[in-house]
Amino acid sequence: MVTVQQVVFALFALMTVGGAVGVVAARKLFHAALWMILSFFGVAGLYILLEAPFFAALQLFIYIGGVAVLIVMAIMVTRGIMGPKEPVFTYAVGAAGTAFAFLVMLALFIVNVPAWMGSAPTGEVAPDGMRQLGRALVMPSAFLLPFEVASVLLLAVLVGALFIAREKE
Amino acid sequence: MSQYALIGLYFVIAIIFGVAPPLLAWLLSPKKPNRYKGEVYESGLKTFGPTWIRFKPQYYLFALAFLVFDVEAALLLPWAVAYLWLPLYAVIEAILFLLILVIGLVYVWRKGWLTWM
Amino acid sequence: MNVLQFVANLFVNVGAWMGEVLHGWGLSPLWTAIVVKFLAGLVVAGGPLAAVLFLIWYARKVIGRIQDRMGPTNDGTAAGPFALLQAVADAIKMLTKEFIFPHGRDKVVFLIAPVLVVAVAVAIWAVIPFGPPDAGMQFVDLNIGVFYVVALASLTFFSMLMAGWSSHNKYANLGAFRAVSMIVSYEIPQMLALLVPVMLAGTMGMQGLINAQEVPFIVMAPIPALIYFLAMTAEVGRLPFEQAEADAEIVAGYFIEYSGMLFGAFYLAEFINNLSASFVFSVLFLGGWRGPWVEQAPILGLVWLSLKAFLVFSVLTFFWGAMPRLRIDHILGFSWKFLTPLALVMLMVTALVDKIVQIVGERGPSPSVSPWTRAGWLFLANAIVALVTAWVLYQVEKRQRAQREARRFAVVR
């Protein structure tokens, strides 16, 4: 009996993987960026299935609203408008297909070895999950140090990126 | 969880509302394409120069800076939700987090990398 | 129950009645619920659309009056009394216009952009709380309420880029870049200002935000409210931040090549976004559906919220009629060099002051602080920051004027 959850999972998984394939197979660079966005949507859907709606919205907000916009603008700035169609790389499809099949079999094997897979965390997601996440981010016993280090990392990214992209005198 | 099923239902409605006007218009409108209608719009002149022009990297710069602050604001969201139940030192820590990025903003500003022209 | 009681809690009662009817036709409880919710969704999506038709007329009338002219009038046309049906007439006109497709366009992306922009504009309404909880007046109360709205808005930037790129037109591309740069720059102060109500309420959910506003947040946090308002004006592309459309500069920007209903879609989406931004601002800072007698008659919540949103929309319309367009570098400078630092400072100040008030209050006679005390201290903090900012700006202006004078007199040897 196929449950609704399985159907929805299959849908989102298809979006994610299909989008990824589309990125590689697209003829125009801009289309590749659009397939990537579809893939991000799929990931957001998977987060919702995992009962983590905050992360789903975060995915939309940061990946689609930030990273994808950045990539698309980079494409538009460097390639001009509507660049020529790039040829699809067809010579390596056989090798790629073999590698993919191998990885799938490996994954199926690993998943079915009980000793290697721990048990999935069971238990309800707390209704005040966001509050606990917020608490965890600032507790010295939890994730305070990574939180502050993240800000230093963002500082480095900001200064570094603007340094590279600055207008040369 | 069922909430998101409702959202999914609503997305379907939203897409229907998105597709309906152009679809309706396509059904109702005349279709008489000719060569002149399809030309690139350039205030009535013929296009001169290739349609490939160089864009300023400044557009890209602002998107970059946006991404950094985007992530910062998103990281602050859980803290903001938990704020009412947090002790004072948590507020100090968050201020520290913000200050580090304020310093970055000021530095970038002083170096003149945030100007347009 | 009598008619008044029925109307007082209208949506719950209508929903229950429909459920009974459908059940009577033999539908299982699950399907009944789905159908009722689907119809509710149609109302939630269609309501703003109908409202927008009226608001387009309203905006044109107001702007006309600001410009000392009449706006749309009914001089022998079929546009209804006072030309109220003007927008309907425009919509019918647009629906029957030919689609003119530019030759070099990207066929698929060109069509996706207007569909996406309308779908996103409509999708935001799912979380807008039109009334108190349990009164059937909110499609769904997500606990990431405002974040859902913000995350969806980021899809709008995409539809701009798609429209600009797929049109195969320099000006469309340029327009898309400028619009996206501007919107992206104002997203930051908007997010940072948004953090303040979330902080003060302890939740991102829309109902939770309204619940925490015994004192509306515009009193507790006037500067973040102002920052959010200005950033929101830029996000919806309203003058003085109208880089997206920029009529006289780049002739409609990224949607130059769109004609007929495809352009109509962008125009429609822009108005829907204006309206949803007004509603969100009302929820965040003006207390949402709160108002007299809402406990007895939940449907009044819809009335109060709509009035507040209409007020905000009117202010946006006055901006449109009365303000010139700012230059792109001024717009970006204003965001990055003024709004963002100010928002960061306000976030820090509000966090500190509120926490101190909370801690001091806990040590005092009563266990918790009254909302008005808290509001008073926060308002004071905002006022102090406003004064300091004004003083800083004055100093900056003085220094700049001195520099200008020095340059002028330096030419004379």
For residue C252, what pLDDT is reported? 58
Q: What is the mean pLDDT of chain C?
A: 83
For residue A52, what pLDDT is reported? 85
Both tokens of C295, joined, read 């406990």
Do the chains contact at C173 and A76, CB–CB below 8 Å?
Answer: yes
Q: What is the mean pLDDT of residues C230-256?
A: 70
Q: What is the mean pLDDT of residues A85-94?
A: 66
Do the chains contact at A138 and B93, CB–CB below 8 Å?
Answer: yes
Q: Burial, A37: exposed, middle or buried (Cβ in 10 Å; 0-12, 13-18, 19+)?
A: buried
The ranges assigned to domains in chain B are 2-110
Both tokens of B12, joined, read 């379907």
Which of B28, B66, B94 is opposite residue C351, by nearest beta carbon? B94
Do the chains contact at B97 and A148, CB–CB below 8 Å?
Answer: yes
Contacts of A135 in chain B (CB under 8 A): 82, 85-86, 90
Assess contact for C393 and C385: CB atoms under 8 A.
no
For residue C36, what pLDDT is reported? 84
Assess contact for B6 and C139: CB atoms under 8 A.
yes
Do the chains contact at A138 and B1, CB–CB below 8 Å?
Answer: no
d(CA C20, CA C35): 12
For residue A152, what pLDDT is reported? 92
The total domain count for chain C is 1
Percentage of the residues of chain A whose pLDDT score is greater than 90: 25
Q: Which residue has the higher pLDDT, C277 or C2?
A: C277
For residue C82, what pLDDT is reported? 74
Instruction: Tell me: pLDDT of C65 over 60.
Output: yes
Do the chains contact at A53 and C180, CB–CB below 8 Å?
Answer: no
C413: amino acid identity, one letter: R
For residue C125, what pLDDT is reported? 92
Going by CATH, does the domain composed of A1-83 fall within 1.20.120.1200? yes
Instruction: Tell me: pLDDT of C213 over 60.
Output: yes
d(CA C124, CA C145): 10
For residue A82, what pLDDT is reported? 55
Do the chains contact at A154 and B105, CB–CB below 8 Å?
Answer: no
Both tokens of A4, joined, read 């609704």
Can you give the residue range of the structural domain that contains C105? 32-352
Q: Which architecture characterizes domain B2-110 according to CATH? A: Up-down Bundle (1.20)
Q: How far is B26 from chain A (nearest CA, A)?
A: 25
Contacts of C150 in chain A (CB under 8 A): 57, 61
In which element (H, E) is residue B72 found? helix B58-82
For residue C287, what pLDDT is reported? 87
In this predicted structure, which of C210-224, C233-247, C366-380 has the lowest mean pLDDT? C233-247
Residue C193 lies in a domain: yes
Instruction: Tell me: pLDDT of C280 over 90.
Output: yes
d(CA C369, CA C366): 7
For residue C61, what pLDDT is reported? 87
HSE-CB at C18 with a 13 A cutoff on CA atoms is: 16
Q: How far is A43 from chain B (nearest CA, A)?
A: 15
The ranges assigned to domains in chain A are 1-83, 127-169
In this predicted structure, which of B78-82, C10-14, C152-156, C313-317 has the lowest mean pLDDT? C10-14
Q: What is the mean pLDDT of residues A143-166?
A: 87
Do the chains contact at C154 and A66, CB–CB below 8 Å?
Answer: yes
Res. C73 pLDDT band, cuts 50 70 90? confident
Angle at C280 between CA C275 and CA C281, to 5 degrees: 95
Q: What is the mean pLDDT of residues C94-102?
A: 78
Res. A46 pLDDT band, cuts 50 70 90? very high
For residue C189, what pLDDT is reported? 93
Do the chains contact at B71 and A138, CB–CB below 8 Å?
Answer: no
Assess contact for C56 and C48: CB atoms under 8 A.
no
Q: Determine the residue among A4, A35, A40, A61 to mutate to test chain C binding: the one whose Cβ has the most chain C Cβ atoms within 10 Å.
A: A61
Q: Give the tens place of pLDDT for each residue, B20-45.
A: 888 888 888 777 766 666 666 655 44
Both tokens of C145, joined, read 């309420």
Q: Which residue has the higher pLDDT, C82 or B4?
A: B4
Which of B15, B77, B95 is opposite residue C147, by nearest beta carbon? B77
Residue C357 lies in a domain: no
Pick from C302, C172, C324, C317: which is nearest to C242 by CA?
C324
Residues 6+ apart with CB under 8 A from C36: C15, C18, C19, C22
Which pTM was predicted?
0.89
Per-residue exposure over A87-105, b if at least 16 CB sit within 10 Å of its own CB, e if not: eeeeeeeeeeeeeeeeeee
For residue A43, what pLDDT is reported? 94
For residue C312, what pLDDT is reported? 93
Assess contact for C217 and C285: CB atoms under 8 A.
yes
Q: What is the mean pLDDT of residues C389-408?
A: 88
Tell which C residues from 158 to 187 touch A, by Cβ distance under 8 Å: 158, 161-162, 165-166, 168-170, 173, 176-177, 180, 184, 187
- Could you give the residue ranges of the DSSP H alpha helices within C138-216? 145-166, 170-201, 206-211
Contacts of A154 in chain B (CB under 8 A): 68, 71-72, 100-101, 104
Q: What is the mean pLDDT of chain A?
A: 82
Q: Does B57 touch chain A (CB under 8 A)?
A: yes
Q: How far is C158 from chain A (nearest CA, A)?
A: 7
Contacts of C170 in chain B (CB under 8 A): 42, 51, 53
Q: Give the tens place of pLDDT for each residue, C295-345.
A: 777 788 888 999 999 999 999 988 888 888 888 788 888 888 899 999 999
Q: Give the tens place of pLDDT for each residue, B91-106.
A: 888 899 999 989 988 8
Q: Burial, A121: exposed, middle or buried (Cβ in 10 Å; 0-12, 13-18, 19+)?
A: exposed
For residue C193, what pLDDT is reported? 93
Q: Is the dihedral of CA C167, C153, B104, C397 positive or negative?
A: positive
For residue C308, what pLDDT is reported? 92
Res. C404 pLDDT band, cuts 50 70 90? confident
Pick from C167, C165, C138: which is nearest to C301 by CA?
C138
Residues 6+ apart with CB under 8 A from C226: none
For residue A1, what pLDDT is reported? 65
Tell which C residues from 95 to 114 touch A, by Cβ distance under 8 Å: 104, 106, 109
Do the chains contact at C204 and B15, CB–CB below 8 Å?
Answer: no
Q: Is the dihedral of CA C234, C240, C245, C249 positive or negative?
A: negative
d(CA C126, CA C113): 21
Do the chains contact at A54 and B77, CB–CB below 8 Å?
Answer: yes
